[in-house]
Amino acid sequence: MSDGQAVGGTKAWGGRFAAPPDARLEAFNASVAFDVRMVREDIRGSVAHVRMLGRQGIVGADEAAAIEAGLWRVWDEVEAGTFGLTVADEDVHTGVERRLRDLVGSVTGKLHTGRSRNDQVATDLRLWTKGALLALIAGVLDLSEALLDVAAAHPTVAMPGYTHLQRAQPVLLAHHLLAYVAMLGRDADRLRDAYRRADVSPLGSGALAGVTYPIDRDATAADLGFADVSANSLDAVGDRDFVLDALHACALVAIHVSRLSEELILWSSAEFRYVTIDDAFATGSSIMPQKKNPDVAELGRGKAGRVVGHLVAMLTVAKGLPLAYNKDLQEDKEGLFDAVDTTLAVLDVFPPMLRTLRFDAPRMAAAAVADFSLATDAADLLAREGVPFREAHEVVGRLVGRCAAEGRTFADLSDAEWAEIHPVFGHRRPPLDAMESIAARDVPGGTAPGRVLAAHAAASADVATARSWLEEREAALAAVLRRPPANKVGG
């Protein structure tokens, strides 16, 4: 996409050039193979622009109506699958204008009055990105709801909590799953923020300095469902922060899913055996008949690198660009499109996989108290009885070392041995049961059953609120990207 205006509805070199471009330049320059995804947004942006031109008297009302009617005919061809583009079109904008000229003739040339390719493509991409962000939010909410459902189905299952991938302290499985719901809540918030910043119309900024016609930018913004208009024409045509916002949000969603994937991969291994992944979401081996591989989780983990790569690529493209538009910005779309597609694919497959997981609750409960994971509870008991925590930590550390050397656990100690370790243990015993340990952590954000139940309710309410926000904006965007009845064209 270039800032040059197409002349004659065919090529973008115009009257300045005495010869057409080399075929290799034409192919290298073309973006039509991927920006065709924005064809509906491009048509709709042109509809808003020509409506405004007609209302403002910049072009004749009859001319504006004819152009708009032609644009909706192109829209109908897109919907019917009969609209076609070629490399010779260079980009989707040229292709739409070329087809419009076929349909309504030379009046098509007036469509580009008061508009540059630069503000046109920025408008199209912002409109497309708004839809993509809403789809991503829907996917994040679907995944959150799946995790909430699995947590609700396992309210009393204990498991080891880990640090350094070593057993640390017992937690509820529901508490562990709600940690991912918390991550996804931040993801949804980031996506909503990205939506807010994308929801600004650059249309009317021209090539870089504004335009000389008495346009109504507020009218075109309202027609396209944008909440505001850009404040600076130079920034408006060269800004791709909204693309970076979307890529950053996708990257963090992918990273959070990757972390969940890693745990499912570990938990489903023979070494852990905490969970069984349903056959519908696993694969076998071409040579080893016994294998059952967690391929969905592995792909979820692997695709994070792809999405993060697109973010890094776009950051690199943007880092040294002078104002205003530069052809480098043509690189904004393929990475964005693929990052969105990849993230949506992950968000589509994970909820049903999660809902079919089968957890081995007895094995997880046994692991929750193995490897002296109740040692902190013993130190906390001493501290509550007035022993300085560092001293209590040392006492219990020696106890752990002794039991490990003797091949015993805390449960194997006699009353006399407990009293020998420390006088406090002579009359009070630390928790030797995972649920007792879990129940003791009754603080906001803790793993105690009541706290987890309250956290589940709060997270469910947050998801419901986000879902309402989403539905309102989905309906508003759908209304913008909808063909009006034939008798309403021109309004």
Residues 388 and 472 in one domain: no
Q: Which range, of 192-196, 244-248, 289-293, 482-486, averages the lowest pLDDT?
A: 289-293
Residue 10: pLDDT over 60: no
Q: Catalytic annotation on 248?
A: no
Helix (H) or strand (E) holding 1: none
Question: Does residue 399 or residue 26 have the better pLDDT?
Answer: 399
Residue 436 within any structural domain of the chain: no
CA separation for the pair 31, 27 (Å, rounded): 9
Average per-residue pLDDT in the chain? 92
Share of the chain above pLDDT 70, in %: 94
Could you tell me the residue range of the domain that residue 61 belongs to?
14-113
Write out the E strands in 173-268. Answer: 200-201, 228-229
Q: Catalytic annotation on 112?
A: no
- Residue 170, SS3? strand
pLDDT one-digit tens code per residue, 377-426: 999 999 999 999 999 999 999 999 998 999 988 888 899 988 999 999 98
Residues 169 and 230 in one domain: yes
Share of the chain above pLDDT 90, in %: 80
Residue 441 within any structural domain of the chain: no
- The residue out of 79, 113, 147 marking a domain boundary is 113
Residues 130 and 169 in one domain: yes
Cβ atoms within 10 Å, residue 340: 23
The amino acid sitting at 350 is: F
Question: Does residue 155 or residue 486 have the better pLDDT?
Answer: 155
Residues 93 and 202 in one domain: no
445 and 455 Cβ atoms separated by less than 8 Å: yes
Sign of CA dihedral 220, 225, 231, 236: negative
- The residue out of 89, 113, 137 marking a domain boundary is 113
Residues 96 and 204 in one domain: no
Return the CATH number at 247.
Answer: 1.20.200.10
Return the CATH number at 415.
Answer: 1.10.40.30
Reported for 459-465, long-range contacts at CB under 8 A and 24+ positions apart, including other chains, are: 459/144, 459/148, 459/178, 459/181, 459/182, 459/185, 460/148, 462/185, 463/141, 463/144, 463/145, 463/148, 463/185
- The residue out of 62, 78, 113 marking a domain boundary is 113
Query: What pLDDT is recorded for position 142?
Result: 98
Helix (H) or strand (E) holding 169: strand 166-172
Residue 1 within any structural domain of the chain: no
Residues 106 and 127 in one domain: no
Q: Which range, of 126-130, 157-161, 340-344, 406-410, averages the lowest pLDDT?
A: 406-410
**What is the pLDDT averaged over residues 71-78?**
97
Cβ atoms within 10 Å, residue 257: 26
Residue 444 within any structural domain of the chain: no
Residue 218 within any structural domain of the chain: yes
Q: Look-up: residue for tokens 């205006």? A: 5
Residues 263 and 316 in one domain: yes
Question: How do beta strands 200-201 and 228-229 pair?
Answer: parallel
pLDDT one-digit tens code per residue, 166-191: 999 999 999 999 999 999 999 999 99
**Could you tell me how many helices (H) and strands (E) the chain has, helices first?**
19, 6
Residue tagged active-site, from 164, 286, 414, 468 = 164
Residues 81 and 153 in one domain: no
Residue 172 has phi, psi (to 5 degrees) of -80, 140
Burial 72-82 (b: 16+ CB within 10 A, else e): bbbbebbeeee
Residue 488 within any structural domain of the chain: no
Residue 348 within any structural domain of the chain: yes
Query: What pLDDT is recorded for position 11?
Result: 47
Residues 322 and 408 in one domain: no
Residue 191 within any structural domain of the chain: yes
Q: What's the pTM value of the predicted model, to 2 decimals?
A: 0.92
Residues 109 and 138 in one domain: no
In eight-state DSSP terms, residue 16 is G
Q: Can you list the alpha helix ranges (DSSP code H) found in 30-172?
A: 32-35, 39-55, 61-80, 92-104, 117-153
Residues 245 and 272 in one domain: yes
Residue 471: pLDDT over 60: yes
Residue tagged active-site, from 112, 233, 285, 414 = 285
Residues 361 and 407 in one domain: no
Count of structural domains within the chain: 3
